[in-house]
Amino acid sequence: MKKKLVLIGNGMAGVNCIEQILKLDQNRYDITIFGSEPHPNYNRILLSSVLAGDADMNDFVINS
């Protein structure tokens, strides 16, 4: 049976950590991610472009 792994926060650093874990072993954990934002995992560094009206939120989703 898979161990459970829970990530609180759907941000870049935490989800990158999950990506690295999955590269090592895709089947080791049953993973659940809790996020407080109404968006999927996105590149927050590019948020300025959205705030400036130059890009759409969907343009920089990292993991949908």
Ligand X SMILES: Cc1cc2nc3c(=O)[nH]c(=O)nc-3n(C[C@H](O)[C@H](O)[C@H](O)COP(=O)(O)OP(=O)(O)OC[C@H]3O[C@@H](n4cnc5c(N)ncnc54)[C@H](O)[C@@H]3O)c2cc1C
Q: Which stretches of the chain bind ligand X, using CB under 6 A?
A: 8-14, 34-37, 44-45, 47-48
Q: Which residues contact 27 (CB under 8 A, 6 or more apart)?
A: 2
Closer of 30 and 43 to ligand X (Cβ) = 43
Ranked by CB distance to ligand X, the top (closest) residue is 11
2/22 Cα distance (integer angstroms): 13
CB-nearer residue toward ligand X: 29 or 44: 44
Nearer to ligand X, 1 or 23 (CB): 23
Distance CA 30, CA 21 (A): 12
